[in-house]
Amino acid sequence: MKRTIAGIAAGVLTTAVLALALDMVLMAIDPESMKPPMSTGVLISVFAGTLLATVAGGLVSGRVSRARPVRVATLMGIVGLVLSIGPTIALWDTAPLWYHVLTFALLVPAARVGGVIAARRIPNGPALG
């Protein structure tokens, strides 16, 4: 149980740090592009970065937990989704509806993909699930 909780926490932290790092890089490249209204290209970049950060978070969750890495990564995705509701509501007007819908719809599957990758990398690890 401790490894499960540690895995979820490590995955959420990994996702948050990577997503924040991407935002900082984009701000450094072109500060004006990150101000609302953001262009479709910038939104797609942020969206892709968020999904990649979530896959990485799922991978970390699965590796830390070891037992049932896909399940733990999925739980990490659910926790991340719940934690992102408040900020999304606060920033709702800064992005179009498609951005919010796709982000919410794909966060948990992206975390699960990370868990699948983790399960395949654990030597003599558990079966997927």
The band of 129, judged by pLDDT with boundaries at 50, 70 and 90, is: low
Pick the closest to residue 72 from 36, 118, 31, 121 (CA basis): 118
Comparison of pLDDT for 123 and 11, the residue scoring more: 11
Rounded CA separation 59/96 (Å): 29
Tokens of 27: 């701000």
The model's confidence at residue 74, banded by pLDDT at 50, 70 and 90, is very high
Residue 125 has pLDDT above 80, yes or no: no
Do residues 61 and 9 lie in contact, with contact meaning Cβ atoms separated by under 8 Å? no
pLDDT of residue 38: 86
Q: Computed over its alpha carbons, how large is the radius of gyration of the chain? A: 15
Where do we find the tokens 């932290």? Answer: 13
For the entire predicted model, the pTM comes to: 0.90
pLDDT digits (tens, 9 = 90+) for 15-67: 999 999 998 998 899 888 888 888 898 899 999 999 999 999 999 999 999 88
Helices (H), ranges, 1-128: 2-29, 40-65, 69-90, 97-121
**Helices 2-29 and 40-65, axial angle in degrees (round to 10):** 150
